[in-house]
Structures are given as C-alpha cells and as structure tokens.
Amino acid sequence: MYSGAMRPVAKTLRFAETLCEEKGLSLTPLRREVFSLVLGHKAPVGAYELLDELKQGKPNAAPVTIYRALDFLVDAGLVHRLAALNAYTACDTQLPGHGGLMLICGGCSNVIEFEDAAVEASITSSAAGFNFQTSSEPVEVRGLCQACKEERDTH
C-alpha cells in the first residue's frame, strides 16, 4: 500500500527500467527525468508544475513534452493519473497488479493506493448487473485521511 510517503528514487528508477525492458518499452532519458520529477513529490502533482520543474534544465520544454512523457508513464504502469485531482502520482511498485483502488484525501491530497480483490470483484459484478463493463482504471474514492479528520474535528 502506498500512502504518500517518499519513495526510494534510485531503487524505483531501477525497477522502472527493468519493467520497461521486460515490456519492450523505451524509458528514454526524458521519460526517466519526468518520472524522477513525479517521484520527487510526496503528494500528487499537476502536469504544469512538472513542466515548470522540467524547464529548469530544459528551457524549451513545452506542454506536449510533459503530456507525452506522462502518457507513456501511465501506459507503462509507472504513474497514475488522478482524475479527481487532475494530477499524477507514482504507482506503488510493491503492488503486483497496479493498485486498483485509490483513496484521495480532500484535505491534504494524500493518496493511499491499494488492491482489494473482493471490492474490485464487487464493483465488476455490480456493474455487470447493469450490462456495464468496467475499465482497468483505478477507482478513486474521495474523503479525509486520519490526520485531516482529526484536525477538522479539533476546530
């Protein structure tokens, strides 16, 4: 389970390189740099914030540059796009199947990524009852983490 803690960047980059090699994908220097930038954030980060950081070393970088790299990283299973926040976060590389559930704190934007086969099966089954096929995109659930809930309750 990933809960917003900083990831060991060097180890995660080695994992990403291995994963891409196994999938026959090319983790180019630019994609690697963008992934490194995402890894450097404890909380989900927006594309334009990443672009500003990328421009520090590559002044000519354009929005299309960052979006193409992020699309690759999402497709490769290294980054999640969080629709609820319009932001990106690195995937929990400890999860075997690319965590299917994301708890997103509305207070601090902390993300908890986890897998729960029973919950995922229940969602798939319920959707099938409506002749609806679910996608492989993570399910996002908004709420409050323990720290934000405690802070809210004390005010």
Q: Which CATH number is 101-154's, of 3.30.590.10, 1.10.357.10, 3.30.1490.190, 3.90.550.10?
A: 3.30.1490.190
Q: What is the pLDDT of residues 28-84, one digit of tens each?
A: 999 999 999 999 998 899 999 999 999 999 999 999 999 999 999 999 989 999 998
Determine if the pTM surpasses 0.75: yes
Check whether 3 has a pLDDT greater than 80: no
Structure tokens at 87: 């932001």
Asked, colleague to colleague, whether 9-90 and 101-154 share their fold, the answer is: no
Domain layout of the chain by residue ranges: 9-90, 101-154
Instruction: List the CATH code of the domain at 9-90.
Output: 1.10.10.10
pLDDT at 78: 92
Question: Alpha-carbon distance 71 to 54, whole Å?
Answer: 16
pLDDT tens per residue across span 93-143: 655 556 689 999 999 988 988 888 899 899 999 999 999 999 878 899 999
Residues recorded for the chain: 155
